[in-house]
Structure 1
């Protein structure tokens, strides 16, 4: 167990209250930490060590075997003790009796940055378990950046939340070629960032709109709820979702493109290479680019461990040189778009870890980088007016032209305001009915 240290005063405000609850002045003065009056305790914090159990930690603080057993049984339905993980922080609340003997009343275990579990130890060997969430606030932000190397690089250079890059890649994964980003491409994005105590970022909560410019072409992302879930759309109501993902993996580079006369890196002769090679570290996750059925799983000769998946429109995709397959993947198995199917490797005839990704239509190989994309279902006619209302305000906000009070803040029920009619001059007579 790591050396314990006394909590800094700043943490008192950091963990005050439960999510969404306003912390009163009285509570602030009482130093409420994890919903507990910290003024009555001495606080110590530590980190779960590798191989360390909660039982061992509690035993070190004088909690009896009987209480630990009772806690284990009581916690099964709320937060099983076996779910404790190394590297997570915990805090203990200790009071001293009249003889200055220390007693542990609470241990708080942080399940992640914002959520925690409170284990309580009370008189008569009784125990309690409570799950809760730290108080957080949302801050809406608009930022723009010109890309010098990559999306991730620009996010870091602009000191933006790292999770923003992942969110944008998820939104544009059918539309923007992140392997073809060039210097001078740019983006503008509006997002909610969640903060603990208004200072510690807990990541991006939602993207409210974006414009990505690649090679002079603009790609918009407008959020709108249709079919029971929020999706992202182009300005004309076309879905950003397409039949195929742009690529079956992320955070890599293209090392070789589709060609009928490529010099083979091993055999040193020119031969067709009817696929795209994505150089990536061994173990990088590989995802299905579309819904389909696995038609082949096995050794593909020079292709090493290979998967082939059949999709609608007489398309078949191939994933070669895999180091292994995802759990549950087998011939005849139906997979969905974005599902994990395997991991990058260097099996077969290969000079290093990479994914050889291929597409066939009616048995004929086609260039994966040039395949035409069919969008998913567009905005329904009955939703068109509501979508255009949302779109126009998001677009104005992206352009910096929307007053704060007119921002779109929810997408569950869009109420379109009635048009404002011009006022008639005083004393004007009403037009007679015809």
Structure 2
């Protein structure tokens, strides 16, 4: 019996030995680190802010107090470097100490040692622009700019109260209202928007650290005003980007629709208006725009200042001749803009003065007049021809741009109240 079992036991033991040897050896060879093999270490990237690894420092944020100067801030940190020598070395092209103003933010980065020694000070000039002060023995400063990230969006809203209010109600950046008013300044009367007017616009909104800092490029838009839809497409001609309608006509006209933004018309062109100061009925050959005192007033078009000064009735006034046909006048300024004088040439949109209440005025407003061939006309009914359209040699390229932008502009559901992030090119 033993003779029969013994061979089986020997074979079994050999099998176990062979398996253990080869598999075990393989296991050891597979996992035993070689002499020159370095242990695996996880590659952890430091968290940077202003190019500084913030996990290596204690970071404290402060606000500049009233009458607090850069020198006072630096001396309060008990630095080892020569602060006086450093302050004397600062010139406006390195760092303008006048930039330090009350209410501004700054951060101090202190080392994680027993003394919590200050290593850096970061002063915020704007959400984008910063200055980094190295606070080691060798004091120096260098500028730092955060990355601005454009996010492509398509937004739509309907006017129910006002353009500005409805922008905010739809979660849109209100600065978009100013951009649209500039683009459609020659075709849409933003002082007379109707309930039910609507718009759609494709644009870039600019972000820094997930915070919106403004509006970038507007690529295409339409504005439906009083049942009529006006289009705007951005196209570059002769190396200059401008806005054109769907047929290639420029949206820029010879005159602006209005000389100031977001006001209201308090009195219209009339042949028999009751004068609020003189208490008599007399013709009013202009349009009054009620606006806060100090509101900037723009020239309606290119021209030359032919007269300016003070008049008992008009107060501080300016007259601009635009061509052989049209002249415009602006009354009741609180003051004139810098550089405005008789004979000065102005461009469309230039600031020429500021709303006031000089002369016969019961409150701050602008009285604007327009003369056509020497005779007063209603400024609100003045028609203005467009400037040069897209050139013939550029029409094919323009139509391709319009086709592409139109398809993107129409890619959202009509009536959407929230913005839609469009795919970037």
The two structures have a TM-score, normalised by structure 2, of: 0.84
1:119 corresponds in structure 2 to 133
Choose 68-77 or 322-331, whichever is displaced more. 68-77
Aligned-pair distance for 1:332?
A: 1.3
Matched, 1:36 2:52: yes
The answer (yes or no) to whether the contact 1:249–1:285 under 8 Å persists in 2 is yes
Residue in 2 that maps onto 1:335:
346
Structure 1 residue 69: Cα displacement: 3.8
Checking the alignment, whether the CA contact within 8 Å between 1:71 and 1:127 is kept in structure 2 is no
CA distance in 1 between partners of 2:308 and 2:89 (Å): 44
Q: State the alpha-carbon separation in 1 of the partners of residues 52 and 342 from structure 2.
A: 54
Matched, 1:84 2:100: yes
- CA gap 1:51/1:333 in 2 versus in 1, 3 angstroms: farther
- Residue equivalent to 1:16: none
Post-superposition Cα deviations, 1:161-184, rounded to whole Å, max 9, x if no partner, equal 121111111111122100110100
The equivalences for 1:386-425 within 5 A come to 386-400=397-411, 409=425
What pairs up with 1:138-217 in 2 under 5 angstroms?
138-197=150-209, 199-217=210-228
Whether 1:274 aligns to 2:285 is: yes
8 Å CA contact 1:75–1:129 kept in 2: the answer is: no
Write out per-residue CA displacement over residues 378-432 of structure 1, whole angstroms, 9 at most, x where no aligned residue: 1112211111111111111121189x9x9784xxxxxxxxxxxxxxxxxxxxxxx
CA 1:43–1:398: 2 relative to 1, 3 Å: same
Root mean square deviation, CA, Å: 2.2
Give the SS at the match of 2:117: strand
Q: Give the Cα–Cα distance (whole angstroms) in 1 for the partners of residues 398 and 294 of structure 2.
A: 41
In structure 2, the CA distance between the partners of 1:311 and 1:279, relative to structure 1 (3 Å rule), is same
Deviation at 1:291, TM superposition (A): 1.3
Q: 1:150 to 1:344 in 2, by over 3 A?
A: same
Q: 1:82 and 1:401, CA in 2 relative to 1: closer, same or farther beyond 3 A?
A: closer
Q: Any unmatched runs of 5+ in structure 1?
A: 1-24, 410-434
Q: Where does residue 391 of structure 2 map in the other structure?
A: 380
C-alpha deviations, 1:6-37, integer Å up to 9, x for none?
xxxxxxxxxxxxxxxxxxx967x522111101
Deviation for aligned residue 1:71: 4.6
* 1:309 aligns to 2:320 (yes or no): yes
> What is the DSSP-based 3-state SS (H/G/I as helix, E as strand, rest coil) of the residue aligned with 1:203?
strand
Aligned partners of 1:40 and 1:313: how far apart in 2?
Answer: 71
Post-superposition Cα deviations, 1:254-278, rounded to whole Å, max 9, x if no partner, equal 0001111111112222211000000
Distance 1:66 1:76, change over 3 A: farther
- Structure 1 position 74, deviation (Å): 4.3
Any idea what the Cα deviations from partners look like across 1:55-81, whole Å, max 9, x if unmatched?
A: 211111124794354255245323322
Aligned pairs, how many?
A: 377
Which 5+ residue runs of structure 2 have no aligned equivalent? 1-41, 414-419
Radius of gyration: which is bigger? 2
Structure possessing the higher relative contact order (Cα contacts under 8 Å, 6 or more residues apart): 2
